[in-house]
Structures are given as structure tokens and as C-alpha cells.
């Protein structure tokens, strides 16, 4: 077993060149990548920091093949729990970070790369991929880190990346990706600026709305399975407000509760297949409605039945581990959410309890894996049935945890 303390990020220039002339050529050709401001970005001498919006799992590869200098990307340690992935990500100097958990070791590695090695560090300040193509609120500690490092900051805004490969699917679409580079801070600005001001400027520099961009760009993204697994992100029907009732196949989305039938076109818009216009014509607006509607539902149900279950999913597999170490199977059964706790009811009649007050760092790894910490232990829940949304669980737990914290103040 390899412990995190023994991991040292190394970035091999020869491997980056190999990736650039192999996988990089395919990436640029298949996704039709176009750039703006690339000459200025390539002229920037290390050390510096690259920051970018995060719209697809391919973002670090897209940016790395465009830049001349090897980039040490800060990445989730969830991607490094197998020997193969750890070996591959070590070759490109990945700096592991526990999602949603403060990690001083990540900061120390970052400082080491910048100050001692004179290298380039890549950061996705949102902390996770966007579910609807719109830039998420940035992690506040990013501005503090930039002020600490005091090196030039290069911003990259990826447009069309979400439409090419949304977070909720593995089906690639062929359209066009635009990457715009711009230097947003020099060392003197970081030294003189206040953290809040740095954060505001960073947020403005990285803001992107995929729906608004697509309305102007009008780029078709071609794929047979362009709506498949969209229910991993959109888990609430906008017509009947049922949760977990949506099923997708190829370009079609159906609600098994009310019969709503939609089709997603190559521009990412929803079209009704039966009667009348759709409630929402795009993922962004649907997602914004879902955030408020689901929150209201969780708060209402937890108030009306404080000791009863809010929802459950059968067939969940629970694993346990620590950081980058391999996870071990713990139990399987039905995952149940109560207002004050998360439970796993096993096939043998056991009940594993996880109080909401003790759960930290709840997140979704990749498309559909739920992760959370209790103390130093990491728990991962996998759902064998593809339509089961891990995001639904993450959102509900975060709402309940926030409500509990507010009640204590």
C-alpha cells in the first residue's frame, strides 16, 4: 500500500512532449480546438499559475497540450487510488487534493513547485466540474493561495468544452472548443491587492455561461447519445417535481412519473416530443430551478417528518479508505437519508449510521460516485444502476448540513 506521504509530484518534460504529439494531436483534431491569446500565454516564463474554468474531465489535457511548459495540475486524490492512474498522473506531476477538505500538504507541494522548482501550477478554482456549463462560485482559498505565491496568473476560459463532453456522460460530441488565454495578475498586483479584490477579479476573469455562448456561436455538437445519463445531473422533473423519475436514452429524456417526453437537439436545447413546449429549453435554466425546488422539498420534508426517511436507493455499495490509499469494500445494501443521518441498511439486517453533523467534504467523484469523510475516514458509495444520481445525495446532505449549522449559531 502506498501512502500519500510518500508521493512526490514530478513532471517529466519528455512525457508531456510525447502526450502532445500523440493524444494531443487527436484532441485538437477531434474537438476542433481553437485558441485566442495563445502567443502571449506561450511567451510567459515560469514560474506562474494557470487558472481555468472547469467544464469537462479533459480540461487539464486540453490546456497542457496548448502550453509549452509542463503544468503541475492540482487534482482530486480520488483519481489516484489505483496504481495505474497514480503512475500516469505522477508522470504529469499531478498534485493531489482531498475534495472540499482543507489540505496543507497540497499547499506545501504547490509552494515547492513554484518557489523551489520554478515550475507552473494549474488550478481549477471552482473545485469541481460544472454540471450545467456555467462557472461555479470559486473556492475562496484560491485567492489566498495566489496572493501567497505572488507569481503571474494566466487565466484560460474554455468555451464549448461542456457541450463537447458534459460531466454527466461519457459520450463525446464533435463541435468546436475555443480556449481564450489572458494574464490577469502580475506579482505586484497580487502583493498590493486585498484577498477579496483578487477573488472578485478572478471570478470575473473565469466566468463563462455555455448556454449564452451557444446562443451566439450556434455550433452544433454531433452525437447519437447526446442526452444519455443527463439524469445524473438533472434528477428532478420540472413538470411533476418527482425526484429520480427521469430516464434517458440516446437523445431522449422521459419522466416515468408524469410522462414528460423530451428530445435534446445538437445545440443542447430541449424539444417536446408530445405536447406543448418544454418547461425549460436548456440545462442551465432547468438546473437553476432544480437547485431551489429541491432545497425547498428537502427542508419541507425534513420539517414534516423529522424522524422519517427522505429518500433511499437500493443496491448501494459502500467502500472505506483514506485519501490516496486503495478503498476496501465495506458493505452493500439500501442507502437511506434521514434529516439527521445517513444510513446503510445491509442485506444482513445491519444498520450503519453516519450523523449529518459528522459528515464533511461530501462530493461527487466523476459522474456518479458519492464521497464523504467522517473524521479521517473516506467513504465512497457506488450505485450499480446508472440512472441513480449521486449528485442528488450530495445536494441533499449539503442542504441538511447547512441547516444544522445555521441552527447552532
Residues 211, 234: one domain? no
Residues 268, 361: one domain? no
pLDDT of residue 104: 85
Q: Does residue 32 sit within a domain?
A: yes
Domain count across the chain: 3
Residues 278, 351: one domain? no
pLDDT at 3 over 60: no
pLDDT of residue 314: 94
pLDDT at 330 over 90: yes
Cell digits of residue 373 = 469523510
Phi, psi angle pair for 345, to nearest 5°: -95, 110
Phi, psi angle pair for 20, to nearest 5°: -65, -40
Report whether 347 contacts 332 (CB < 8 A): yes
Confidence category of residue 302, pLDDT binned at 50, 70, 90: very high
Looking at per-residue pLDDT, the higher value among 47 and 8 belongs to 47
| Structural domain containing residue 141 | 4-217
Contacts of 389 (CB under 8 A, 6+ apart): 231, 232, 233, 235, 244, 368
Q: Does residue 225 sit within a domain?
A: no
Residues 183, 253: one domain? no
Looking at per-residue pLDDT, the higher value among 204 and 99 belongs to 204
pLDDT of residue 82: 66
Residues 158, 184: one domain? yes
Beta strands in 77-125 (DSSP E): 95-97, 120-123
Q: Does residue 299 sit within a domain?
A: no
Q: Does residue 224 sit within a domain?
A: no
Confidence category of residue 4, pLDDT binned at 50, 70, 90: very low
Question: Which segment of 12-16, 178-182, 253-257 scores lowest on mean pLDDT?
Answer: 12-16
Residues 9, 119: one domain? yes
Which of residues 182, 217, 252 is at a domain's end? 217
Q: Does residue 296 sit within a domain?
A: no
Q: Does residue 149 sit within a domain?
A: yes
Q: Does residue 297 sit within a domain?
A: no
Residues 48, 130: one domain? yes
State in Å, rounded, how far the first CA of the chain is from the last one. Answer: 42
- Give the CATH number, domain containing residue 346: 2.30.29.30
Residues 251, 310: one domain? no
Distances (CA, A) of 66 to 7, 20, 35, 165: 27, 8, 9, 19
Residue 349 CB: number of other CB atoms within 10 A? 7
What's the CA gap between 63 and 122, in Å, rounded? 9
- Give the CATH number, domain containing residue 173: 3.40.1130.10
Phi, psi angle pair for 37, to nearest 5°: 75, 15
Confidence category of residue 405, pLDDT binned at 50, 70, 90: low
Residues 127, 201: one domain? yes
Amino acid at each position: 500500500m502506498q501512502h500519500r506521504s510518500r508521493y512526490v509530484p514530478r513532471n517529466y518534460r519528455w512525457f508531456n512532449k510525447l502526450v502532445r504529439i500523440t493524444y494531443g494531436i487527436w484532441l485538437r483534431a477531434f474537438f476542433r480546438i481553437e485558441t485566442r491569446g495563445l502567443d502571449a500565454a506561450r511567451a510567459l516564463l515560469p514560474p506562474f499559475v494557470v487558472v481555468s474554468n472547469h467544464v469537462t474531465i479533459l480540461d487539464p489535457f486540453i490546456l497542457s497540450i496548448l502550453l509549452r511548459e509542463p503544468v503541475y495540475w492540482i487534482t482530486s486524490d480520488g483519481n489516484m487510488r489505483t496504481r495505474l492512474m497514480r503512475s500516469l498522473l505522477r508522470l504529469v506531476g499531478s498534485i493531489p487534493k482531498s475534495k472540499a477538505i482543507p489540505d496543507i500538504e497540497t499547499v506545501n507541494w504547490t509552494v515547492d513547485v513554484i518557489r523551489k522548482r520554478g515550475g507552473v501550477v494549474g488550478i481549477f478554482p471552482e473545485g469541481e466540474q460544472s454540471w450545467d456549463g456555467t462557472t461555479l462560485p470559486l473556492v475562496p482559498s484560491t485567492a489566498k493561495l495566489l496572493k501567497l505565491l505572488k507569481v503571474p496568473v494566466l487565466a484560460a476560459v474554455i468555451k464549448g468544452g461542456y457541450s463537447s463532453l458534459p460531466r454527466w456522460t461519457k459520450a463525446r460530441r464533435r463541435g468546436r472548443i475555443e480556449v481564450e488565454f489572458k494574464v490577469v495578475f502580475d506579482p505586484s498586483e497580487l502583493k498590493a491587492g486585498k484577498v477579496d479584490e483578487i477573488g472578485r477579479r478572478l471570478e470575473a476573469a473565469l466566468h463563462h455561461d455555455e448556454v449564452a455562448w451557444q446562443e451566439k456561436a450556434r455550433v452544433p455538437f454531433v452525437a447519437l447519445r447526446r442526452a444519455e445519463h443527463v439524469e445524473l445531473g438533472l434528477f428532478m422533473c420540472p413538470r411533476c417535481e418527482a425526484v429520480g423519475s427521469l430516464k434517458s436514452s440516446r437523445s431522449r429524456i422521459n419522466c416515468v412519473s408524469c410522462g414528460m417526453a423530451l428530445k435534446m437537439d445538437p445545440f443542447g436545447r430541449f424539444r417536446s416530443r408530445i405536447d406543448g413546449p418544454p418547461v425549460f429549453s436548456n440545462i442551465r435554466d432547468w438546473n437553476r430551478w432544480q437547485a431551489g425546488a429541491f432545497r425547498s422539498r428537502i427542508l419541507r420534508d425534513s420539517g414534516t417528518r423529522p424522524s422519517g426517511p427522505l429518500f433511499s436507493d437500493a443496491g448501494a455499495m459502500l467502500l472505506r479508505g483514506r485519501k490516496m490509499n486503495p478503498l476496501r469494500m465495506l458493505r452493500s445494501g439500501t442507502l437511506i437519508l434521514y434529516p439527521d443521518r445517513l444510513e446503510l441498511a445491509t442485506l444482513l439486517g445491519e444498520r450503519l449510521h453516519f450523523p449529518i453533523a459528522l459528515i464533511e467534504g461530501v462530493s461527487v467523484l466523476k459522474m456518479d460516485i458519492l464521497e464523504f469523510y467522517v473524521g479521517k475516514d473516506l467513504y465512497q458509495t457506488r450505485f450499480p444502476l446508472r440512472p441513480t444520481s449521486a449528485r442528488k445525495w450530495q445536494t441533499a446532505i449539503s442542504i441538511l448540513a447547512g441547516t444544522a449549522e445555521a441552527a447552532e449559531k
